[in-house]
Chain A
Amino acid sequence: MATAEEIARAADRRDIRNRWYLSAPALLTIFFAAVGPLAIVLVYSFLTPGSYGDVKWQFSPEAWVSVLFERDIFDDTLSLAGAHISIFWRSVKLAIITTLITLALGFPTAYFMATRSEKTRDLWLFLITIPFWTNLLIRTFAVLQIIRNEGIVNTVLMKLGIVSAPIQILYTDVAILIGMAYVYLPLMVLPVYASMEKLDFRLVEAGYDLYASRWQVLRRIIFPLVKPGVIAGSILVFIPAIGAYVTPSVLGGGKNMMLSNLIELQFGQGRNWPLGSALSITVMLIVMVALLVYVRNAGSQEVRHG
C-alpha cells in the first residue's frame, strides 16, 4: 500500500509531466521557427564562404570583420567599409523618416476614426485594413505606376504646366519613402486607434474647460494618454521598415540599396553566406538597440510629465 505522501508525490510528478506535454507544441514551434534558424545563422556567420555559395565548415571571423571593414587587396590593411556604413545609415534614416511620416499621417487618421460614431467606426477600420488584401509586390508596383516619369503625378503636373519636364521621383529615396509610408501606414493607424478608442473624451472637455487651447489639449492630454499606442505603432513600423526588401528594390532601383538588399546580394551574386549571416544579425542588433533607446526615452518622458 502506498502512503498518502507517495500518492501525492506521484500526482505531482504526473502533473508536471502533463504540463510538459501540453506546452510541447508551443516549445517545438519556438525551437524550430525561432531559436533554431537563428542559431544556424549565427553559426554560419563564423564559417568560411564556399566557392559556389554555401559554406565550408571552417571557423573564420572574416565575415564579422567585413561587416564594418574592407581588406585592401594588395597589403591586407583594414579600412572602414564606407559602402556598408552608408547603407546602414541610409536604412536607419529611411526607417526613422518612414516612422515619422506614418505617425504624422496615422495620428490624425486614428483620431478621426476614434471620434466617429460607434457604428461607423467599424467601417473606417475595415477600410484601413483593405490594402492588406493585396499582395505587397502588387501594391508597390501600383505606387511605381503613380510616381514614374510617365505616371499620373507627372502627367498631371505637366498638363497643368506646373513643371516642364517630369520630376524624377522613381529610383530616389523619396520614392522609397512614399512606398514604405504607404505600405506601413496601417501598422501605425491600428495601434494608435486602439489607444485612442479607449481615450475618455471627457478628459478632452475638461482640458478645454481649464483654458487649454486645441494644441495644448493635444500635447498635454491626448498625446500622453495615447502614447502606448504611438510607441507600439512606431515599433511595428520601424522594424519592418529597416528590413524592407521589396519596396527599396522596386522603387529604389539597383543603386539605392537598403540593408535587406545588401544581405540578399551576399546570399545571391556575392556568394558570401557568412557575410550575409553576419549582416542579418547586425540588423537585429541595430533594431534591438534602437528599440531600447526609444522605449527608454519614451518612458522617461512620461515620468517627467507625471
Chain B
Amino acid sequence: MPEQPGKNAIEVRGVRKVFGSGEAAVAALDTVSVSIRENEFFTLLGPSGCGKTTLLRLIAGFDYPSAGEILLYGDDIALLPPFKRPVNTVFQSYALFPHMTVAQNIGFGLEMLRKPKAEVKARVAEMLKLVRMEHLASRRTSQISGGQQQRVALARALAPQPKVLLLDEPLSALDYKLRKEMQIELKRLQNQTGITFIFVTHDQEEALTMSDRIAVMSSGKILQVGSPWDIYDKPADRFVADFIGETNFLTASIAGVENGKARATLKSGATITASVADGFQPKAEATVVVRPEHAKLTKGKAELSGTVENIVYFGTDTHIHVRLDGSNDLFIVRQQNARSAGCGFEAGDKAGIAIGDDAAQVLRD
C-alpha cells in the first residue's frame, strides 16, 4: 500500500545494522524499511533477538545504522546524537535517576532544553496529574512501587513533548494485573497526548490489543506490517501465522488466483476458497492456514475428516484435537462453550471439519 510521505512521523529506509566485524559480524537488522504514521500506536513485535530493540535504539539514537536512512518528518536523523532528536524513550528498566525525586526526574528533559523555571514547574505538575502521581512528587524513585516507577518513566518521556515516543517493552517487569491496567493507561495517554507511539514487545496479545498497526519481525527482518486484524486473520508467512495465536497448517494445491482469492485443493480432495497473502508467487503447492476458531466440527461429512483425539476445556471455549485422516496431522478446532452442554464429541469419535469460504489464508512461503 503506497503511503503519502508527508503523513509519516518516522520513515525507515533500507536500514542495516551490523554488530562486530569480519567473521564475527552479525546483522541485527537486515535492510529494513517501514513507515510509521503520525499519531499512530505502532508496535514492533517479535521474539527476543529479532532486531526490534535494535531498530528502536537506532530511532532513539543510541546506535547508528550501518546503512540506510531514518527520516523524522522528512529529515534524516540517522546520525544525530540522541540529545538532538525530538524523540524520547521509555526504557524497559525505566532507568529513573535514583538521585532525584519523582518531580526532578520528570522535569529533567525540560531543564536540559533550558525551558524557563516556571514553565518546567507547570509542565511537571501537568505530567504528574496526567499519570496520577501528584501525591508522590517529592518521593525518591526508590521509594515507589514498580507500577508507579513505570508511570514516572512515562511522564518523564512525555514531558518534553516529543514528536515520537519510543517504548521498549515497558510492561514486561509488571505483574499480570498491573500490566493489563497499564495497557489501558498507555492507550489513554496516547489518545490524550496525540503523540506517535512506537512500542516494542514480544507479547502478541499486548500487540494485538493495543496497536493501530503491527510490524512482525524475525531475524532482523520485518515480515509483515498491518493492522492487528490483518496480522491475525491474514498472516503473510509461516512465521507470522505461527508466532501469533494458534494455527493449523495444511498443504494444498493452488489454482485460479484472482483478486486476492484462490481455490485451494486440500489433500483430502476438498476444494475451498481462500484469501491469498500479498506477494504470493504462483506455485503448485502452498501452505494454507486455518485458525482453530474459524473451523467447525461436524458429525457428518465436511472438507476434512478425522478422529477426535483429545478434548481440552478452557472455560470460555474448548479445544478439540483431531487427527486427520490421510495426512495424520493434528488439527485443532476451537469451539465456543455453552452453559450446561458438552462439546458434543468424545475422544475416538469420527468427525468432519468444515472450513467455510474465507476461513483460510494461503501463505506466500
Q: Do A and B come from one complex?
A: yes
Q: Does B160 make an interface contact (CB < 8 A)?
A: yes
Query: Which of A207, A211, A305 meets B160, CB within 8 Å?
Result: A211
Q: Is the CB of B97 within 8 A of A221?
A: yes
Residues of the A chain whose Cβ atoms lie less than 8 Å from the Cβ of B96? 206
A306 lies within 8 A of B112 (CB):
no
The segment out of A103-111, A197-205, A243-251 that lies at the interface is: A197-205
Determine the chain B residues whose CB is within 8 A of the CB of A210 once the complex forms. 83, 88, 108-109, 112, 156-157, 160
The answer to whether B275 has its CB under 8 Å from any CB of chain A is: no
Closest to B93 in A: A202
Q: Knowing A208-B61, A210-B109, say if A306 contacts B140 (CB, 8 Å).
A: yes
Q: How many A-B residue pairs have CB under 8 A?
A: 66
- Does B113 interact with chain A (Cβ within 8 Å)? yes
Instruction: Please name the residue on chain B nearest to A205 by beta carbon.
Output: B62
* Shortest beta-carbon distance from B211 to chain A in Å: 23
A305 to B61, CA, bound (A): 28
As a 0/1 sequence over residues 55 to 74 of chain B, the CB contacts with chain A under 8 angstroms (1 = contact) are: 00000111000000000000
Q: A217 CB to closest chain B CB, in angstroms?
A: 8
Do the beta carbons of A209 and B89 come within 8 Å of each other?
yes
How far apart are the CA atoms of A203 and B157 in the complex, in Å? Answer: 13
Q: Which of B96-143 contact A (CB under 8 A)?
A: 96-101, 104, 108-109, 112-113, 140
> Could you list 11 examples of A-B contacts with CB < 8 Å?
A200-B93, A206-B91, A208-B62, A208-B81, A209-B89, A211-B160, A212-B108, A212-B112, A220-B108, A302-B99, A305-B99
Give residues 150-184 of B contacting A (CB, 8 Å).
Answer: 156-157, 160
Contacts of A305 in B (CB 8 A): 99-100
Binding site for B on A (CB under 8 A): 200, 202-203, 205-213, 216, 220-221, 224-225, 302, 305-306
Assuming the contacts A208-B61, A208-B62, A211-B109, asked whether A306 and B99 have C-beta atoms less than 8 A apart, the reply is yes
Q: Say yes or no: is B147 at the interface (Cβ < 8 Å to chain A).
A: no
What separation, in Å, do the CA atoms of A203 and B97 have in the docked complex? 7
- Of B89, B101, B140, the contact of A206 (CB 8 Å cutoff): B89
14 further contact pairs, Cβ within 8 A, besides A207-B108, A212-B83: A202-B91, A206-B95, A207-B97, A208-B62, A208-B82, A209-B62, A209-B82, A209-B83, A209-B89, A210-B83, A210-B109, A210-B160, A212-B112, A216-B112
A263–chain B nearest beta-carbon distance, Å: 41
How close is A206's CB to chain B, nearest CB, in angstroms?
4
Bound state CA distance, A205 and B89, in angstroms? 10
Docked complex Cα distance between A211 and B113 (Å): 6
Query: Which B residues fall within an 8 A CB radius of A?
Result: 60-62, 81-83, 87-89, 91, 93, 95-101, 104, 108-109, 112-113, 140, 156-157, 160
Chain A residue nearest to B92 (CB atoms) is A202
A contact residues around B89 at 8 Å (CB): 205-206, 209
- Which residues in B have their C-beta under 8 angstroms from that of A209? 60-62, 82-83, 87-89, 157
Docked pose: A203 CA to B62 CA in angstroms: 12
Distance A85 CA – B82 CA, assembled complex (angstroms) = 53
Contact B109 A225 (CB under 8 A): no
> Which A residues lie within 8 Å of B157 (CB)?
209-210
Contacts of B156 in A (CB 8 A): 210
Which residue of A is nearest B87, CB measured? A209
Nearest chain B residue, comparing its CB with the CB of A306: B99
Partner of B83, one of A200, A208, A221, A225: A208
Chain B residue contacts of A216, Cβ below 8 A? 112
Closest Cβ of chain A to B180, distance in Å, is 26
Residues of A within 8 Å of B87, CB to CB, are 209
> Pick the contact of B101 from A200, A202, A207, A306 — CB < 8 Å?
A306
Of the candidates B95, B104, B140, which one forms a contact with A203 in the assembled complex, judged by CB atoms under 8 Å apart? B95
Q: Which residue of B lies closest to A217 (CB)?
A: B83
Residues of A within 8 A of B140 (CB): 306
| Bound form: Cα–Cα A224–B60 in Å | 25
A26→B100 CA distance, assembly (Å) = 41
Q: Closest 9 CB pairs between A and B?
A: A210-B109, A206-B95, A211-B112, A208-B82, A202-B95, A212-B112, A224-B99, A211-B83, A209-B89
Complex alpha-carbon distance, A209 and B86, angstroms: 9
Instruction: Provide the bound-state CA to CA distance between A206 and B61, in Å.
Output: 11
**Of all chain B residues, which has the CB nearest A204?**
B95
CA distance A61 to B95 in the complex (A): 60
Closest beta carbon of chain B to A306's beta carbon, Å: 5
When the two chains form their complex, are residues B99 and A200 in contact, meaning their CB atoms are under 8 A apart? no
Q: Which residues of chain A are near B108, meaning CB under 8 Å?
A: 207, 210, 212, 220
Residue of B with least CB distance to A200: B95
> Are A205 and B112 neighbours in the complex by a CB distance under 8 Å?
no
Inside 8 A of B60's CB, which chain A residues have their CB? 209
Q: Knowing A210-B88, A211-B113 are in contact, say whether A205-B99 is a contact too (CB < 8 A).
A: no
Contacts of B160 in A (CB 8 A): 210-211
Instruction: Please report the C-alpha to C-alpha distance between residue A225 and residue B93 in the assembled complex, in whole angstroms.
Output: 17
Please, which residues of chain B bring their CB within 8 A of the CB of A302? 99
How far does the Cβ of A58 sit from chain B's closest Cβ, in whole Å? 57
A213 / chain B contacts, CB cutoff of 8 Å: 83, 112
Residues of B within 8 A of A205 (CB): 62, 82, 89, 91, 95
